[in-house]
A and B are shown apart, each in its own frame.
Chain A
Amino acid sequence: MIRFFLREALAESRRMLAGGLWVSCLLLPPALSLAQTNPDLAGRELYRRECARCHGRAGQGVKGKYDDALHGDWSLEKLIRYIGKSMPDDEPGKLSASDTEAVARYINDAFYSREARARNHPARVELVRLTNRQYLNTVADLLNGFLEGAGQKTEESQPGLLGTYYNGRGFRNKIAERTDRQIQFDFGTNAPFPDKTGTNGFSIQWTGSIQVERTGDYEFSVLTPNGTRLWVNDEQKPLIDGSVSSGDFSQHKASVRLLGSRRYPLRLELFKAPKDPKASVVLQWKPPRGSAESIPARSLRPQHIASTFVVTTPFPPDDSSVGYERGTSVSKAWDEATTQAAVEVAGYVLSHLDALSRSKAGATNRMARLQAFGEEFVAAAFRRPLTPAQQRTYITQHFKRPLKPEESLRRIILLALKSPRFLYLGLDGMQRDDFEVASRLSFGLWDSMPDTALFQAARANHLQTAEEVSRQARRMLADGRARAKVRHFLHQWLQVEHVEDLAKDTSLYPGFTPEIISDLRTSLDLFLDDVVWSPASDYRRLLLEDDLYVNQRLADFYGISTNTAEQFVKVSLDPKQRSGVITHPYLLAAFSYQKSSSPIHRGVFLTRNIVGRALKPPPMAVAFKEADFDPTMTMREKVAELTRPQACQTCHSVINPLGFSLEHYDAVGRFRIRDGQRLIDASGDYTTDDGLVVKLNGARDVAEFAVGSEHAQEAFVEQLFHQLVKQPVLAYGPERLEQFRRAFVQSGFNMQQLIVDIVTVAALHHEGRPMARKRS
C-alpha cells in the first residue's frame, strides 16, 4: 500500500510539473481548496459530484447504473468531446467547457487510460505453471533427451518415402529401391516392376519420416485390397495391422496424437498375395481440422528418425482470458490430469527402460544404471542440477526401500512429474541464476525445456549478458520448436487458431470444398513461414505482400492462371486486389457468414488485432438477420443500418470503416467489384485514437495505415511479447514496450530480431534485485 501511495504521489507531481504548477502545489497545505488553482483537483471534485453516482468513485462502475469500469483507449480529445456532448446522462451539456475538460482529464489520468490502469494495478511477473502446450513439449523433449536421434532435424532431402520393392510377399528378394513422392499407386493386375516380378506376388516397404505442422489427432488411413501394415511414431506396434485382407473391407483407419512442427518415423508395408486379383494402395491422413487427403510429398522424407513420446492424457484448457494462454490457475481437473499424465509417462519409461537406461533387467549394473537414469531424469525435469538434499529426497531414499529398482524408479518419475519444480516456471525467480535464464529462454522460444547446449551454457555460466543470451536465442530460433511457437503466435494473432468450420452455402459458393479449405490453410502457413523465416523477416510484408501460395486446385477456384499440379507455388497477384494476410482468402472466409461477407467480423478483427484498438463487448446483443433487410441493399448498407443506434456507434464508428474496406471480397475471399447489382464502396473515414481522421479506400489502405501506425506497431509487439513470454509486458517496466517498438522499427521491422530482443529481456529480467552472480 505504501508503495502504491508513493507511486501515486510521484505520478501526481510529475503531471503537475508538466503543467507548471508543482511549486504552488507543494507549498500549499492540502487543507486549502485547490479547486481554482488546480484543474486536476477540480476535475476530481466534479467527477465525484456528477459522475461517481453511476461510475463509482474510482471509475469501477456501479451495478445497475453503469456496470462497466471506465477503461479505454480513446484520446483525451475524444473523451472531452464525448463527455461534452452526452454527459451527465440525465443532463448533457450541463458542464462548462473548462469543467468538461477538467473532468475528462481527471478520468483519463486517474483510471481510464492504459497508463493509469498500469499504475493502479502494477503488473508483475507471476508464478505460473506449465501450459498444456508446454507440458506436452516438455515431456516429449525430456524423454527424447535420452534417446539417440529422436526429434532431431534431418538434413534437407528430396521429399517422399524410400520404397523398397520385393519379389514375393515376404520382403526377402529385393528387386528395386526408389524414392516415391506420394503413396498413391494403382498397379491393377500388374506388378510395379513387371520384368523383375514373378507370379508369387510382391511386397513393398516404404520407410522414412513424416513432418506434421499442427498438434492434435492425426487419422491415418490405408486404402488397399491387399495386405498392409502401417507404423507411425511407434516402431514396435503397428498403428494399422491389415495383414489379413478380408471381404470388401479395404480401408484401414486409426488415429494417433502428434505434436506440431516435429518429425516422426513412418513405415508402410504392402503385400500382394499370388491370388489377390489386383494391387493398389493409397496412404491418406486427416490432420486436425483438415480434410482427408493423400499425404503430400512435402510432409514426407525418406530419412528415418526415432520416435517421440506424446502424452495422450487430456488436460483441461488453459486460461486464455487475457488473450494468451497462461498457467495462472490450478484446478482439480488439472491436478488429476497431471497425475494421470505422470502415470502415463512412468508407464512409458518402465516399458522402454532398457533403451532409456542402457541396461538390462536383472543385470548386475541394473540398480546403478537406474539410479543414474533417475538422477538425470529428475534434474532435466527440474531444469537444474539437484542439490545434495534434493538428491536424497528425490533419488536415494526411494532406492533404499525393499522395492525392485524398477518400482523405485516408477516412484521417482511420479514424484518428479508431480513436483512443483517440474510443474511451475519461475520458482527460482527470487534468486535468478543461469539455469533460470535458460528455462525462461527455452520456454519463451520453444514452449519447452532447455536442450543440451543450453544446459551446458548454464552450467558454464555463459548466460550472464544480453549478448550471451541473444546468441543462444538466435541459435534456438533455427529449431522446429521455435517455428512451431511463432506459428502458434501468428495463428492467435490472426485468430485462425479456433476456426472450426469454414463451410459456406453450397449453392452460392459451389466448389468451396473441405479440400479447398484445407489447401487455404496450407497456403496461409506457407506464406507466414516464407515471410517470418526469410532473412529480412519483415513484418510489413505480412500486411503488404501481393503474393499468394496456390496449388492447382486453389488456382482454379480463385481464377489464377498457373500450372502447378499438387505442389504449392507462389504467385504474384494484382497489388490493388491483394494486400498481405488481411486479404488472404482463409481469413476472409473465416470472417464471413455462410452466405455473405461480414464487415462486422472483419472490422472487429482489424480493429483489435491489426490496428490494435481495445473494444468493449457490445452493449446489447444484436443478431444479423439477412431476412430483416431489403434484398436490394448492399451488405454495407445493411450493416450501417443495423449499427445506426448511438449505443452501437461508440464502437462501430471505428469498426465499420475498417470492415467496409474489405467489402471487395466475398464470403470465400474472391475479389469482386459488385455486391449484387451494385458497385462495391470500400471507402471510409477511420478516426484514430488520437482523434485524427484517416481516409481509407480498400484493404491496402488499411494495411498501409497499420504498417505506419505507432499504435498498431505497438499492438503487434505487445501481442508477440505476451504469446512468447506469457507474462504482462508492463511487468518489465513502463517504457519496455516502447523500447521494443522503436528497436523493431529501426531494425526494418525484423520479426526474428524482435523475438530475440523480447526473449533476451525476459530471460535476464530481475525484480528490482541485483542479479546473483554465482561463479562456481
Chain B
Amino acid sequence: MNSIRRRDFVRALGLSAASLPFLIGLPSLGLAAPARPRQRLIVMFSPNGTIPDAYWPNEEGPDFQLKEIMTPLAPYRDRMLVLRGVSNKVRGDGDNHMRGMSCLLTGIELFPGNIQGGSHTPAGWASGISIDQELKNYFQSREETRTRFGSLEFGVGVNDKADPWTRMSYAGPNKPIAPISDPYQMYQKLYGQLRDKESLQSILDDVREDLKKVRKLISAEDRRLLEEHEALVRQMEREVASARQQPLRVNPPVLDEGVADQNDNVPRLSRMQIDLLINSFVNDMARVATLQYTKSVGMAKMNWLNISDGHHFLSHEPDKNDEAVSKLTKINQWFCGELSYLVGRLASTPEPGGEGKMLDHTLIVWTNELGKGNSHTLDNIPFLLAGGGFGFKMGRSLRFDKVAHNRLHLALAHGVGHRLETFGKPALCEGGPLNLS
C-alpha cells in the first residue's frame, strides 16, 4: 500500500492531520497489490578479494558448474548470474583497497585527502554518489515506490573507524554513509517508535487517573485547564489505539539478547542482521539495502572455521601457499553461505501483497573491493547477482572483457526504469549499460 492510500486510511479513521506526525512510524500495510511489481536491491560486500580458481566457473552460459566457494548456492543456481571480466577502472588518489572500496559503488575518483594507504598517494572520500543511494533516491522520489527509510545500511563486524576503506555507500560527494553494525541499534531504528507507542499506551490510563486525582487538589477556577488537558490525553489515547490496530505485516524479529559487537560473534550478528533486513523488507520500510561484512583490509579472525589468522593478513599470502589458499577458500565460502541464507529467506517468503516470492522481486549483488587479494587487482571483481525483478536473464555464467563496472551500475539503474546515461565517471560508461537480459 502506498503512502497516499495510507493517508486516506488515516483520514477514514477520523484522525486529524495534526496526528500524522505521531503516526509517521507506521509501517506500510501492504493491503493492496502494488501497481508495478516491487523491485528491491541488496548489495552484499565481503573484503580482500577472492580465490579465482575456487570461484569462477569454468563454463560460460547456462550450463555451468559451481566451484568450491559457491557451493552453498547450489539450490539457487538457476537464480544466479556470474559476471566475470568486470573491472573497477577508476584510478587517481588512494591505494587499491581504498579505491576498491570507495569507488566500488560510486564509480568515480576519490578526492585528495589525508588518508595514507600502502605506498600510493593519500586520499579522501569518494567524489560522487553510490549506485545504491542513486536507486534509493529514485525510489523515494516517486510516490508509488516511496518507503519510510528508502534504504538501510547494515554492517557485520565493521569497526568504528570512518575512512575510505570502511565506506562504500555515499549519499553524494564527501558524504559517506556509515553502516549500522549493531543489530540492537538497527532494531531501535526500525521498531523503536513502535515500542515507544506500546509503552505510551500502557501508561495513558495512569495519566488520566492522575489528572483526576489532581483535580481534587485545586480550586474550581483552575479545573478548566486540567479538564482541557484530560480531553487531550483521551484524544491521544484514541489515536495511539487506532495506530496500534494497524498491525505490521510481520512482527519485529525476536533478537537474542546481549550479543556483543565483536569478532567471535560475527556468525550470530550476521544472522541477526539478515533477519532484520528480511523483516524490514516484508514490512516495506525500504527497497534498498547494503550488507557490509567487515571492511576493505578487514581482519576478521574466523575462529568458528578454525582459522585464527586475520583475513587480510592471509589474503597477502602467495598463490603457492596452499594452506592460505585453502583457508581463504573456506573464508569466502563462509561468506557465500551467509549469502545463501539471505537468498533462502527471500526464496521462502511470499512477496507481501504481490505475486510469487520475495526473491522474485529482489536482486542481490555480492561483490568485493578486489579481484584477488595478493595482487590487489581491480580487474575481475567478483560480481555475482542473485534473485530477480530487474529483467536480467538469470541462471548463467557470463564472461566480459574487462568492462568498466560503471556499466553494471547503469544496468542496475535501467533495471528499475531509471534511465541514466552515465553513472560515476562518464568516460567509463562508454558502451552503456551491460546487456544482461
Contact = CB atoms under 8 A, between A and B. Distances in A.
Contact of B226 (A276, A329, A420, A431): A420
Interface string A209-229: 000000000000000001100
B225 A244 contact: no
Contact of B200 (A246, A276, A332, A339): A339
B12 interface: no
Contacts of A177: none
B111 A247 contact: yes
B124 A362 contact: no
A428 interface: yes
B206 interface: yes
A347 B21 CA distance: 18
Interface in B330-384: none
Given A124-B221, A246-B113, A335 B229 contact: yes
Contact of A227 (B114, B174, B258): B114
Contact of B113 (A244, A336, A407): A244
A427 B210 CA distance: 12
A421 B173 CA distance: 50
Nearest to B126: A246
A693 interface: no
B8 interface: no
B219 A430 contact: yes
A707 B162 CA distance: 62
A608 interface: no
Given A411-B199, A427-B218, A275 B229 contact: no
A676 to B, nearest CB: 54
Given A343-B196, A418-B207, A127 B113 contact: no
A276 B232 CA distance: 59
Interface in B240-274: 258
Contacts of B221: 124, 126
B174 A410 contact: no
Contacts of A328: 225
A10 to B, nearest CB: 22
Given A332-B235, A335-B229, A244 B163 contact: yes
A9 interface: no
A330 B217 contact: no
A126 B206 contact: no
B130 interface: no
Highest count of chain A CB atoms <10 Å: which of B22, B114, B123: B114
B163 A430 contact: no
A173 B203 CA distance: 54
A241 interface: yes
B280 to A, nearest CB: 20
B185 to A, nearest CB: 10
B207 A246 contact: no
Interface in B78-134: 110-116, 121-125, 127
Contacts, number: 127
B18 A330 contact: no
B202 interface: yes
B207 A410 contact: no
B66 interface: no
B222 A127 contact: yes
Contacts of A394: 206
A335 B236 contact: yes
B207 A275 contact: no
Contacts of A410: 199
A127 B218 CA distance: 8
B177 interface: no
A343 B200 contact: yes
Contacts of B236: 335-336, 339
B233 interface: yes
Interface in A450-506: none
B13 interface: no
Given A244-B124, A414-B200, A420 B211 contact: yes
A453 to B, nearest CB: 27
A126 B222 contact: yes
A633 B320 CA distance: 98
A329 B225 contact: yes
A273 B122 contact: yes
Nearest to B235: A332
Interface in A307-328: 328
A245 interface: yes
Contact of B124 (A245, A335, A393): A245
B207 A361 contact: no
A419 interface: yes
B199 A414 contact: yes
Interface string B210-228: 1100100111011001101
B206 A127 contact: no
Contacts of B203: 411, 414-415, 418
Chain A residues touching B, range? 35 or more
Contacts of A335: 229, 232-233, 236
A730 to B, nearest CB: 15
Contacts of B219: 127, 429-430
A328 B209 CA distance: 22
B226 A127 contact: yes
B113 A332 contact: no
Highest count of chain B CB atoms <10 Å: which of A124, A246, A247, A421: A246
Contacts of B110: 246
Nearest to A393: B206
A129 B111 CA distance: 54
Contact of B18 (A243, A333, A346): A333
B218 A429 contact: yes
Given A245-B113, A273-B114, A330-B232, A420 B199 contact: no
B424 interface: no
B164 interface: yes
A411 B206 CA distance: 11
A5 interface: no
B13 to A, nearest CB: 17
A246 B210 contact: no
A361 B258 contact: yes
A123 B415 CA distance: 72
Contacts of B209: 393
A246 B125 contact: yes
Contacts of A226: 114
A691 interface: no
A676 B172 CA distance: 55
Nearest to A329: B225
A362 B257 CA distance: 10
Contacts of B113: 244-247
A244 B18 contact: no
A245 B163 CA distance: 10
Contacts of B121: 275
Interface in B117-171: 121-125, 127, 162-164
Contacts of A129: 225
B162 A241 contact: yes
A244 to B, nearest CB: 5
A275 B162 contact: no
A276 B115 CA distance: 10
Interface in A425-451: 426-431
A247 B206 contact: no
Interface of A: 124, 126-127, 129, 226-227, 241, 243-249, 273-276, 328-333, 335-336, 339, 343, 346-347, 361-362, 393-394, 407, 410-411, 414-415, 418-421, 424, 426-431
29 contacts: A124-B221, A127-B225, A226-B114, A243-B163, A244-B114, A244-B124, A244-B164, A273-B114, A329-B225, A329-B228, A332-B235, A335-B232, A336-B18, A336-B22, A336-B236, A339-B22, A339-B236, A347-B196, A393-B206, A411-B202, A420-B214, A420-B226, A420-B229, A424-B214, A427-B217, A427-B218, A428-B217, A429-B219, A430-B219
Given A244-B113, A346-B196, A394-B206, 9 more contacts: A244-B163, A246-B111, A246-B174, A330-B232, A346-B199, A407-B199, A414-B200, A415-B207, A420-B214
A-B pairs, top 10 by smallest CB distance, nearest first, are A246-B124, A247-B111, A127-B222, A335-B232, A273-B114, A246-B113, A246-B111, A245-B114, A246-B125, A415-B203
